[in-house]
Structure 1
Amino acid sequence: MTSRKFMLYNSEDDLVDLNNHEIFALNPTGLGVSFSNSFSNVSANFLQEKSVLNTASLKLDIIFSRNSTTPYEKYEEFVKFLNKPPFKLIYEISGKTFQRDCVLSELSKGEIVTNVLSESLTLDFTTPFYKEISETYKPNSDTEGDGKIYAGTNKPRNLIANPNFLNNMQDWSNMSDPDGTYQLQAPATDKPTSNILKLTSSNNKLSSFLNAWGLKVKKGERISFRVDIKTENNPDYGRPVIRVGYGTGEKNYKYSDFGITASSSGFKTAAISFVVPEDGVFSLKLINQNLSTLGAMSTYFREPMLIRGDAFDMPVDFYSGKPINNYYVYPFVYESDYNGKSGVFQIENNSVYIGSAKGSPVEITVHGPCTNPYWEILDGSKVLQSDGYNIDVPDGYKLVVSSVVQKQRVKLIAPDGTISDIYQQQDLSKSNFVTIPEGRVTLAFHSVGDVSFKYREEYITV
């Protein structure tokens, strides 16, 4: 038999457990979903014109029974609890917990029968069922060059040999089609130590460079990497630009698959993270894939970095800054894009809307000091939504932006708790008040210090 529990919180976080021998809920109805649909008639068929999610109510039979008090006294205590609306219902079923905001619709009152008071309770829901998922980001300070170093027993490490294409392409192998060409170019001013690799091809040809430095990876480990990319004569970003090998398998990544975390000197900093599907040796191939017979196209690469690699055959002393067993190990590591590093979050939103909504609300808190913070929702390199504020957030202050319907707000909160409404300082070039779409997307923060956010994974029925 499937177990289920109901609990109820009021606005002051008082709790009533509706599963004990003094107050017990049974016979729930209204946990499903209904729509109102309108149609137009076309011959013997019907075209759906509109579908509207109907309001939902939970109806429960509530048993108030004698224990140390009479059923009437327990009823009176429950009424006092209800005097502090609105409410939050906690629903536990089959080991899963959901919550749903609600208000009181009806509570009946009758007579005691054999020491039991049996009444009906109706709650009107104001939200879907939801789980709140929270994340945080705290920047790490630079320790050397462009890099960032992390403490702990499982230190991330930059394991790609020669990412700046120095020393005559040491550690990189030219895997080009004979018709493909490559050229090593001087660094741009924003990264004066980073040479640029230009790959060019035409007529359905492919040119590429492979780095197979022998990193052994295990199934289930996470690999993350980043690279600066720009293209020439390539309006179609559906072409492969990175090929990852692991064991016997490989996978292509298109330009549009990447989360774009920065832009400089015409380059886009692209990042990807994935879980290794099988044991094997990891390799990375940079690709210029021309899928057209019209003219030549080029892709430029700069600083291809493995920014997280769970290697299990590395020496313990890997921060020496010297080549060790054909690995060049840096005295710093680049801050990973994955799991919140660099202010970039990969989000898997498993909400269930059945067509009734297109995104989950999110509340974002940006802690000062920072200036003109903004954030974006991306699908690969495509910006789906964005929000930002033309404001200085001083040290000790925090900017709180919520797209939750019942408490949509933009507040600047001072250290003493004083709240200022700064909605009028929204950046009008942005789409404003972002929501998290269903599926896998990237949430990227820019010009921020510490950030925390929580979004609702929502379900109109569970």
Structure 2
Amino acid sequence: MIRKISILNEKGDLLDFSDREKFLLYDVSGLGVEFDNKVDIFNASVLMNSQNLKLGQLKAKLLVGQNSVNGYEIFSEMFRFLNSPPYTVIYETDTGVFYRDCVLNKLTKSDMKKGRVFIEDIIFDFLTPFYKEISETYKPNSDTEGDGKIYAGDSKPRNLIANPNFLNNMESWDNTSDPEGTYQLQAPASDKPNSNILKLTSSNNKLSSFINAWGLKVRKGDRLSFRVDIKTDNNPDYDRPVIRVGYGTGEKNYKYSDFGITASSSGFKTATISFVVPEDGVFQLYLINQNWSTLSAMSTYFREPMLTRGDVSDMPSDFYSGKPSNNYYAYPFVYESDYNGKSGVFQIENNSVYIGSAKGSPVEITVHGPCTNPYWEILDGSKVLQSDGYNVDVPDGYKLVVSSIVQNQRMKLIAPDGTISDVYQQQDLSRSNLIAIPEGYVTLAFHNVGDVSFVYREEYITV
């Protein structure tokens, strides 16, 4: 079900296609995907020769001037808006907000219909997949600035989860079970004698869950890592959500199968996830037991939920208990490791959906001077997958902008007064050229840089 479609033009003007007094789209199609497959047939067998993604189109009926007496003036507003191409479609659904660049293909203009409205055909040609823009920054800090914090009594990361051991009758946890769902606190197992076990049970086609919504504020670009022990009772629903993380208006589900848990799993398995927060907001965590099987009752067990800021590699192997608090000492310095992208190294989770049509997401990188001969690499472990760099001085106040976005590929040095110089001839030819962020988990590392910011597009052929 479409929640909302709107469109931006090059000037940044917004046209809302759900405005019932002006413009309303209906009978929308073309939001899926279509390929041109070329095959070779050998007797009863078929060999794939090539597969090309077809140009997508958004096709719809456009109702202009409903509930208004100014239909002609409203249509003129539409033409003024379209006079500044290209455009970006903004598609809002229950799964999030997605963008897609496009140009106009067709807009009919007929006589005004009864009721003083226009009913027209409108078609846009898509130029990109759907995408979300995800940004990161790195700013080196000296040891003499800021107001650093060291938590009292321990140098390990502090668990941000309130009441991770399920104590005091589930304090800080709220039960959102269905009417037939139940929960039970079980005594600790011998391997972790200080950690109670939460057992969630739900009936057929029901969902039971607990939410920990204690008001932890997170910022766009923060990397969070989460760990919890999970166990099932020979659960046939191993491809159903068991963890949901929420931040601002967005959320993401993680399934048993994401953690390597199958229908035959019976012992506790430590499940770990790491992700970048896409928007400012308040963090929420859900532990879920969703029974979509034919069983009358089904259970999931949880133990020691742990959340820290930073990459999963920064997470301690042993548990640090306690509730979030302001129990820290303040010192007049900043540890650089407290910053996302510490030392200019970023762990990236790219969840693009290409269905075989591409192998990476475009990225725009901005390096601020002063620096000399900056370069960057995409790594899988210690293996360099891609790299790019420039044999150039970037003076103080200047910035080097390098973009692999197809519609806006550029290699520019921009002066403080806005003067632009092409630096493609200064590209380091020993490297692999413009980079794209592969799907999955990779590392993006910057070298010979000061301040850095970058934006990459997590792309989706269809959503």
In structure 1, what is the Cα distance between the partners aligned to 2:11 and 2:142? 40
- Note closer, same or farther for the CA distance 1:13–1:149 as it changes in structure 2 (3 Å cut): closer
- Note closer, same or farther for the CA distance 1:155–1:28 as it changes in structure 2 (3 Å cut): farther
Deviations 1:419-444 (A, max 9, x none): 11111111111111110000010111
Letter in 2 for 1:11: E
- Note closer, same or farther for the CA distance 1:313–1:55 as it changes in structure 2 (3 Å cut): closer
In structure 2, what is the Cα distance between the partners aligned to 1:13 and 1:136? 24
Tell whether 2:362 aligns with 1:361: yes
Structure 2 residue aligned with 1:459: 460
- Note closer, same or farther for the CA distance 1:338–1:69 as it changes in structure 2 (3 Å cut): same
- Note closer, same or farther for the CA distance 1:424–1:278 as it changes in structure 2 (3 Å cut): farther
Structure 2 portions without partners, runs of 5+: 158-193, 198-211, 213-223, 228-267, 272-301, 307-312
In structure 2, what is the Cα distance between the partners aligned to 1:278 and 1:151? 32
- Note closer, same or farther for the CA distance 1:15–1:334 as it changes in structure 2 (3 Å cut): closer
Matched residues, percent identical?
56
Structure 2 residue aligned with 1:4: 3
Structure 1 residue aligned with 2:61: 61
In structure 2, what is the Cα distance between the partners aligned to 1:50 and 1:129? 23
Deviations 1:371-412 (A, max 9, x none): 111111011111100011111111111110000001100011
Aligned-partner SS, 1:424:
helix
Instruction: Decide whether the 8 Å contact of 2:149 with 2:330 is kept in 1.
Output: no
The offset of 1:339, in angstroms, is 3.2
Aligned-partner SS, 1:62:
strand
Structure 2 residue aligned with 1:167: none
Instruction: Decide whether the 8 Å contact of 2:103 with 2:126 is kept in 1.
Output: yes
The offset of 1:337, in angstroms, is 8.8
Aligned-partner SS, 1:61:
strand
Number of positions where the alignment pairs a residue of Structure 1 with one of Structure 2: 321
Tell whether 2:152 aligns with 1:151: no
- Note closer, same or farther for the CA distance 1:316–1:85 as it changes in structure 2 (3 Å cut): closer
Structure 2 residue aligned with 1:78: 78
Deviations 1:7-51 (A, max 9, x none): 011110111101011211100111111111111122211100110
Structure 1 portions without partners, runs of 5+: 161-215, 225-247, 252-276, 282-305, 321-330
Instruction: Decide whether the 8 Å contact of 2:4 with 2:18 is kept in 1.
Output: yes
The offset of 1:155, in angstroms, is 9.3
In structure 1, what is the Cα distance between the partners aligned to 2:64 and 2:327? 64
- Note closer, same or farther for the CA distance 1:317–1:37 as it changes in structure 2 (3 Å cut): closer
- Note closer, same or farther for the CA distance 1:70–1:156 as it changes in structure 2 (3 Å cut): farther
Structure 2 residue aligned with 1:47: 47
- Note closer, same or farther for the CA distance 1:381–1:111 as it changes in structure 2 (3 Å cut): same
Structure 2 residue aligned with 1:121: 122
Aligned-partner SS, 2:41:
strand
Structure 1 residue aligned with 2:337: 336
Map 1:208-357 onto structure 2 (within 5 A): 222=225, 279=304, 311-312=320-321, 335-336=336-337, 339-357=340-358
Deviations 1:123-167 (A, max 9, x none): 000000000001111001135xxxx9862476997559xxxxxxx
In structure 2, what is the Cα distance between the partners aligned to 1:98 and 1:61? 21
Aligned-partner SS, 1:55:
coil
- Note closer, same or farther for the CA distance 1:86–1:156 as it changes in structure 2 (3 Å cut): farther
Alignment root-mean-square deviation, CA: 3.6
Tell whether 2:430 aligns with 1:433: no
In structure 2, what is the Cα distance between the partners aligned to 1:33 and 1:43? 29
In structure 1, what is the Cα distance between the partners aligned to 2:155 and 2:364? 34
Letter in 1 for 2:108: S
In structure 1, what is the Cα distance between the partners aligned to 2:303 and 2:140? 32
In structure 1, what is the Cα distance between the partners aligned to 2:131 and 2:117? 34
Instruction: Decide whether the 8 Å contact of 1:307 with 1:333 is kept in 2.
Output: no
Structure 2 residue aligned with 1:15: 14
Tell whether 2:27 aligns with 1:30: no
In structure 2, what is the Cα distance between the partners aligned to 1:25 and 1:443? 41
Structure 1 residue aligned with 2:89: 89
Which consecutive aligned stretches of 4+ in structure 1 deviate over 3 angstroms post-superposition? 66-69, 152-160, 216-224, 248-251, 277-281, 306-320, 331-335
- Note closer, same or farther for the CA distance 1:250–1:98 as it changes in structure 2 (3 Å cut): closer
Deviations 1:221-259 (A, max 9, x none): 8599xxxxxxxxxxxxxxxxxxxxxxx9889xxxxxxxx
In structure 2, what is the Cα distance between the partners aligned to 1:106 and 1:155? 65
The offset of 1:70, in angstroms, is 2.4
Aligned-partner SS, 1:111:
coil
The offset of 1:93, in angstroms, is 1.3
Instruction: Decide whether the 8 Å contact of 1:339 with 1:346 is kept in 2.
Output: no
Instruction: Decide whether the 8 Å contact of 1:156 with 1:307 is kept in 2.
Output: no
Deviations 1:187-210 (A, max 9, x none): xxxxxxxxxxxxxxxxxxxxxxxx
Deviations 1:247-284 (A, max 9, x none): x9889xxxxxxxxxxxxxxxxxxxxxxxxx96499xxx
Letter in 2 for 1:151: G
- Note closer, same or farther for the CA distance 1:337–1:218 as it changes in structure 2 (3 Å cut): farther
TM-score, normalising length: structure 1: 0.62
The offset of 1:313, in angstroms, is 6.6
In structure 2, what is the Cα distance between the partners aligned to 1:415 and 1:218? 59
Aligned-partner SS, 2:433:
coil
Instruction: Decide whether the 8 Å contact of 1:39 with 1:46 is kept in 2.
Output: yes
Structure 1 residue aligned with 2:141: 140
- Note closer, same or farther for the CA distance 1:140–1:311 as it changes in structure 2 (3 Å cut): farther
The worse-fitting range, judged by mean Cα deviation, of 309-318 and 408-417 is 309-318
